[in-house]
Structure 1
């Protein structure tokens, strides 16, 4: 049976664009021995907040990153056939897909992005690319969900996840889930090691004391028992049909920048994840074969570590979990409010217009308050207003 090998990575860059040699140098050490069919790179906080409000600036920086990635891959495999398949971005969330077998790829669809940031800004959100490789269709979605360690933050992440799944519309008219297509989701999902606040069925939660110590005392097996995402998933509350390779690495967040020491004001957590739509147990098609799932521990210029996966995928798609109308197929009769419908909704275009306005307003405020030229403009405007008011008093 035909297979494709995928290399997928996700990296929250901490508002710094990874255009220096540090990222590609350490990435090179984790690449597979033989060239993969597809290389998928997801980024969050790939620019400063100000730059993230200007899509042209983000696009230029992602093109720069893509050029560096191409150079890295060509040098690694001594092949000149690597080419960019697609670059997509929304706010500071970016997605770059590269392949050495560009002739095997067709029907590329981008999403329009979807915001989940405060005041509908693009500071958080998702973006995706769907493509056909040989005979198989693949959907790749990079997300950055809302942060925080309180119960309301976890519930908002759940809602963010549903919003991205049901409102991130691609150029082919489908949302994230599409019949007869592979689906990979990844990014800074921001789920923390809180134990899910007891909101999962009894027997799935654990009652150990929190561990906020540094790397030397951070037991991944212990922390993983507290991981919100895995507990909510086991409880059937989110991502019921998605799978993830066994996690055998330490939490990817939060580090003191430039060190391997965890920040004591945050619970060490598996914020950065890569999941895929799985095959049912009864399926005769071989499941995904994860060759590697790990962090790039040497890359220290952010408070997150990059996470990567090397996986062999059958070109036969998983069993459908949605029907032709876009609704989730009910196999368990236990649907909850976050899994009833993944059908595209029309008002997402309205949300995108609102997001464009609020993001532009945020960008203007940041420009006027954080840049030298902006402060000069603000000062000149203030002097003008003051002068006009004084002149009015004299009349």
Structure 2
């Protein structure tokens, strides 16, 4: 008997509705990622955009032994010394309400994502990637547009050239002659042994290939992961979509990836409005990225509802507890406990001003006078929302609402009072935490939707551990690799160098 797929879909649709209406959480802690996690999903079978990312559930603490080399992460040991060293990375943050339109194949994101020097981390949030109709809000999730956005982002990022200014991880550049193999120091050998043990490789394999090993001193242009980015995590809730990308050579330092969703739409909890938050630890610094779409409307009092959305999101966002496997570093279970926090999205705050006054100021490009009427700034200054958060200076025009495929605001020629929208800075990026410096805050000029995209570039300080510190012996490795004492390693290195010198004579 032949099964009708559409019939199965219809029969399952009421179950989805019931779950959403009764606020029964389902797969809320799952997200997409380029990384394979032990016991949580099947290993990737191809590198196509269709199969490139997988579902991950819960905390990312372990790895499949057979996962691709550049997607593996180390098993952390609980006795790594806490050493206060820092590194500055560049983080690109972008938000865009795309008006319920699926992207077409010709949409080029390079203009939006381009910087003079590519970033180390890209945090991209979208709103209304699907139309906010009853079918999408109450029914099964349509993840087709999200897959298209991921494909376009990957294409744009992977075509980005890596500049040598981003070579902070390779500060000890080897000055060897082109045809001369670099020598390996004792500290390099220890670092190599640590990495190989973490990757599940036997020590004899390490020494057998030692002569061809190029240590950390290689330049960025020689890196096998040159110019590539990996999807750390992505999550969709109805029309809200958040994805985090990291430079591929940073992926092994990312741990404790978790997600949390809060619905603030229909009846106060459905997902047409609300937030997606992604928590992660990079080296020893915790990050939280919060992508939101808050209550819309420009009636008096609507700003109070938006304030309430923010407070409820902060209150209800909870990340799954770490199981503390393999000595993973501390991971916060709420937004405010993170070291660095980015809040981005369509916050929907409008201008507390009459239409005529706003239009006149807009025609004169008097943005500073308009910003004095910005609801978000008014509410924040009064201490009613985002107390202690920072936002950069705004030197760009309001980002909403534009007529389709034009540079004209909807208010300029609209004859219908119901369709009029006072121009406003709905799309915003805020941050909280020390060690963050905003380098720019600007908007893009794509006419794809009735919102203009907004982006910001940050310099963020990340705490890293010292590579020169020794780790204590730990017997927990996939292949039961025995650690070799320092004296034995010196002896092995000495014998190896003697062997290499002897072989080079013949």
Q: TM-score, normalised by structure 2?
A: 0.55
In the TM superposition, residue 77 of structure 1 has moved relative to its aligned partner by 1.8
CA distance in structure 2 between the aligned counterparts of 1:295 and 1:176, rounded to whole angstroms: 30
The structure 2 residue matched to 1:88, chosen from 217, 221, 235, is 235
Q: Could you list the per-position Cα deviations for residues 1-20 of structure 1 after superposition, in whole angstroms to 9, with x for gaps in the alignment?
A: 42221101000010112343
Aligned to 2:95: 10
In the TM superposition, residue 104 of structure 1 has moved relative to its aligned partner by 2.2
Change (3 A) 1:180 1:42: closer
1:295 is aligned to 2:379:
no
The structure 1 residue matched to 2:383, chosen from 236, 242, 247, is 236
Q: Could you list the per-position Cα deviations for residues 162-217 of structure 1 after superposition, in whole angstroms to 9, with x for gaps in the alignment?
A: 1111112222386642425211111000000116xxxxxxxxxxx99731369644
Q: Could you list the per-position Cα deviations for residues 25-83 of structure 1 after superposition, in whole angstroms to 9, with x for gaps in the alignment?
A: 4324xx2222312101100001123345555422x432321121111111122645311
Aligned to 1:142: 291
Structure showing greater Rg: 2
Change (3 A) 1:143 1:260: same
CA distance in structure 1 between the aligned counterparts of 2:318 and 2:444, rounded to whole angstroms: 32
CA distance in structure 2 between the aligned counterparts of 1:76 and 1:54, rounded to whole angstroms: 38
1:259 is aligned to 2:417:
no
Change (3 A) 1:224 1:23: farther
1:225 is aligned to 2:372:
yes
Q: Could you list the per-position Cα deviations for residues 271-299 of structure 1 after superposition, in whole angstroms to 9, with x for gaps in the alignment?
A: 000000144xxxxxxx53212211101x1
Gaps of 5+ in 1: 196-206, 280-286, 318-395
1:189 is aligned to 2:347:
yes
CA distance in structure 1 between the aligned counterparts of 2:361 and 2:108, rounded to whole angstroms: 24
The structure 2 residue matched to 1:109, chosen from 258, 266, 269, is 258
Change (3 A) 1:19 1:8: farther
The structure 1 residue matched to 2:246, chosen from 85, 99, 110, is 99
- Counting matched residue pairs gives 294
CA distance in structure 2 between the aligned counterparts of 1:82 and 1:23, rounded to whole angstroms: 17
Question: Would you identify which runs of 4 or more consecutive aligned residues in structure 1 move more than 6 Å?
Answer: none
Secondary structure of the structure 2 residue equivalent to 1:212: helix
The structure 1 residue matched to 2:153, chosen from 48, 54, 69, is 69
Secondary structure of the structure 2 residue equivalent to 1:161: helix
Structure 2 contact 339–433 (Cα < 8 Å) conserved: no
Gaps of 5+ in 2: 1-85, 163-225, 323-331, 412-419, 465-506
Change (3 A) 1:230 1:139: same
CA distance in structure 1 between the aligned counterparts of 2:245 and 2:380, rounded to whole angstroms: 31
The structure 2 residue matched to 1:40, chosen from 115, 119, 123, is 123
Q: Could you list the per-position Cα deviations for residues 229-280 of structure 1 after superposition, in whole angstroms to 9, with x for gaps in the alignment?
A: 011111111111100111111111111111111111222111000000144x
Q: Could you list the per-position Cα deviations for residues 122-164 of structure 1 after superposition, in whole angstroms to 9, with x for gaps in the alignment?
A: 1111111001112211000100001111222111111111111
Secondary structure of the structure 1 residue equivalent to 2:407: coil
Q: Could you list the per-position Cα deviations for residues 68-123 of structure 1 after superposition, in whole angstroms to 9, with x for gaps in the alignment?
A: 11111111226453111101121110001111132221110111x11111223211
RMSD of equivalent CA atoms: 2.4
